[in-house]
Amino acid sequence: MPAVPHRSPRTRHAAVTAAGGLLTLAVVGGHVPASAAATATPTIALSAAYLGGAVGGTGEPTVTVKIAQSGTDASALTVTASASSRTSVARPADVTVSGTGATRTVAVAARGQGYTDLTLKVTGSGGASATTKLHFAASAAVRNAADTRYFTGSSDASAAVDVGGGYVVVADDESNVLRLYNGSVSGAPVRTWDFSGALGVDKEVDIEGAARVGDLVYWTGSLGNNKDGEYKAARNTVFTTSVSGSGAATQLTYAHSYKKLRDQLVAWDEDHGDRYGFAAGTADGQAPKQIDGFNVEGLEFAPGSTSTAYLGFRAPLVPPKEGGKGLLVPVTNVDKVLASGAAPVFGTPVELDLGGLAVRDLRKNSAGQYLILAGSWAADDNSDPYALYTWDGVAGHAPVKTADLPTDDPGGWEAIVSVPDLSLPGQRAQLVTDNGSADLYGDGTEAKDLDHDEWKKSRAALFTVS
């Protein structure tokens, strides 16, 4: 029998033997074939680690999940929710994963108010897996949940302007950031603009009112003191932004600003016998949200005008006592005030019987039909009454109450997005709340103080107004 050649133990070789007519291939040596190599661990990454939702919510925010596994097509990977730290808020079964390939979308149907950490798991070939945490917060169910959406990233919505295609630009009274949202779904802004630098301020303007004329949007600060009765120069600001594009493609650019309107209003009132007490309402130590305070919250143009704008006052009431009327002061040359710094000219004031409530916002449509959002002058937004009134914009004509707004859900009604044709039955308007002082998640934390912007949110809801 011939000698078998010597082979090193490190040499990979195959021995072939014949037994009963069968050939058997045996691998000899210390190396493992490539096909038997260790399976790569998949990866999973979230577009955001924090997500907010609402019990009974519709069109809720989502997060994007990116997954991969070396040597495996991403379509073969599966993503599931494998655990929840608090199942009373959301269970794994309440998590929905949609999409194919390397990008998936995760949505959560909230079960109860509070916080939970959801474990998301990707499983690939060979059973290899990886996990990550999604920190989820759910607010309680609200009335008319199907007609409610949440604008996240900020909780202090204070003014809103329709920019077409269901999109809306929303201001925040705690910053100088304007945010573009898709008003038909809940979620983060599509785009943001911070105008602090352009305005030359490092404090909030306390934006409270907005009005659009053509491709120009006027924004006004409250013009009042801060809550401690201190004068803050940034709040004495009115500015304009130019609009280009519409809908999701909307762009805003800074145009002009004016920072003396408060002073001019006080001087005008004093020249007319101190009728409204503006000097006292702006005095050092005077809080703005008092029945005799000084606080602007509404802005809209007069019927058929591009130069006369109504300033709507949250305070004072006229006279400053229970049952007083809401106040509008026309600025008849607001276009020139902003464009060239001309001294403002004030027209005849308009006093509106709003059932003892003040102007919190007003908005008109192209037909000159107005909606007035009426609310208390006081600061306890979550319990005082609110109502909607229709009006024709003509001084001396009385507004007509069309609805009482619910106040049993968190947040104070703050802004009207747009006005539908009020001559048609069943028309609806979208209103937005300021949720800054609301305890959204049941832990005693005001929304404005939450650690994560994804959990801060204002509520937008549709109401029948005709």
Across-strand partners of 136?
51, 116
Cβ proximity of 48 and 454 under 8 Å: yes
Cβ atoms 290, 315 nearer than 8 A: yes
Task: Give the number of other CB atoms < 10 A from CB of residue 360.
Answer: 30
Whether the link from the prior residue into 5 is cis, omega within 30° of 0, is no
pLDDT for res 383: 79
Domains in the chain with CATH codes: 43-139 (2.60.40.10), 145-464 (2.115.10)
The span from the CA of 249 to the CA of 320, in Å, is 45
Amino acid 114 reads G
3-state secondary structure of 69: strand
What band does 295 get if pLDDT is binned at 50, 70 and 90?
A: very high
> What sign does the dihedral 126-127-132-137 (CA atoms) show?
positive
> Rounded mean pLDDT of 200-212?
97
- Residue range 383-410, pLDDT digits in tens: 789 999 999 999 999 999 999 999 999 9
Cα 192 from Cα 251, distance rounded (Å): 9
Work out the percent of the chain whose per-residue pLDDT is above 90: 90
260 pLDDT above the threshold of 70: yes
User: What DSSP letter does each residue of 339-408 carry, written as one string?
Assistant: HH-PPP-B---EEE--TT-EEEEEEE-TTS-EEEEEE-SSS-TTTS-EEEEEE-S-TTSPPEEEEEEP-S
CA angle 188, 66, 457 (to 5 degrees): 15
pTM (predicted TM-score): 0.90
